[in-house]
Amino acid sequence: MTENGRPRDRAAEYHPPTDRPRSREPAVEVAEGLGNRERSAGLFEPLLGRGTVFEDKDLLRPSHTPDLLPHRERQITELAEHLGATLRGDTPSSVQIYGKTGTGKTVCVRYVAGELLRAAGGAGVPCHIEYVNGEVTDTEYRVLARLTNRVAAASGTAEDDRPVPPSGWPTGQVYRAFVRAVDRQERSVVVVLDEVDRLVRKGAGDALYKLLRVNAELERSRVSVVGISNDLTFTESLDPRVRSSLGDVEVVFPPYDANQLRDVLRVRASTAFRDGSVAEGVIPLCAAFAAREHGDARRALDTLRTAGEVADAAGAERVEERHVRRARERTDVDRAGEASDARDPSTDRT
């Protein structure tokens, strides 16, 4: 109320604040947005115009399977002799492969598997190969579900079958679905269990046992198992019934020495790098570093690839020994961080 008793006119008294910052004009925001995009495009121009020492960097990754695998001829021949029974219509013996990390186990299995598929196709022999990584697919249910779904997809899903869900079925039902999927047509199925020792240690040994014994329930098909392990002693912890089903076929991959690692690196480098882009001492140095770590070829390849990346970042025309040493520093830091995360239970490693 006013002094004379009249109602106070609030609207007349209101004055908008004059010190409030005015909102930015849309035109200014649009202009700045365009400027940011122009700067972002310019950010990558030096990278697009920069040269590289690489011809194909992916050839230095462990996932690549080269046509030549030096110093693994004996292991390749042994594996081929056992799996070759597939081409004669026989059931191959299950094979256990042992060796430390970076000794060529997985790449040799992939190489032999590829050759087997080519030979089987040429001979008109139905053959199917499946890979399971025991560190990722680490329970009996997951192993059998993955194999069932992939084998069924490869042969065409029957109308009365449905994909195995990620969870929810009794394990026995999943196993019966696997038997049906495999036996839908006459063929040989090779199951490669990489990191099989980790699979067993995580309590999924029953999956291994069932795969080793499944042939007793098949009428048209045959299954063989190739287990790959970094631990030569893991079978000692197996249930006796599983151990007795493994069979006697074992292929051991010894560590590479420095000279052998040089040959492995030269094969990869010959196609991964541009001609003349690797200095003479680079490959021996990478091999020498890896030879100190139980002859780990993966480590040697990682060092060589990283050295190439260091050289590219420096604008160098070729990889030099100083780039190798810098690459080692970088990978050592990365590995130290991974080891720290693995020791820290609060770290979420997804």
Phi and psi angles of residue 129, each rounded to the nearest 5 degrees, phi first:
-125, 135
103 is in an annotated binding site: yes
Nearest to 142 by CA among 175, 166, 169: 166
Q: Where are the alpha helices (DSSP H) in the chain?
A: 10-13, 26-49, 73-83, 105-123, 140-155, 171-182, 196-201, 205-213, 240-245, 258-272, 282-291, 297-313, 321-343
Phi and psi angles of residue 300, each rounded to the nearest 5 degrees, phi first:
-65, -45
**Tokens for 342?**
């693995």
Beta bridge partners of 225: 191
- 164: how many CB neighbours lie within 10 A of its CB? 22
107 is in an annotated binding site: yes
98 is in an annotated binding site: no
202 is in an annotated binding site: no
Most distant pair of Cα atoms in the chain: their distance: 115
53 is in an annotated binding site: no
SS3 category, 239: coil
Which residues make up each annotated binding site for ATP?
103-107, 256, 268
Which residues make up each annotated binding site?
103-107, 256, 268
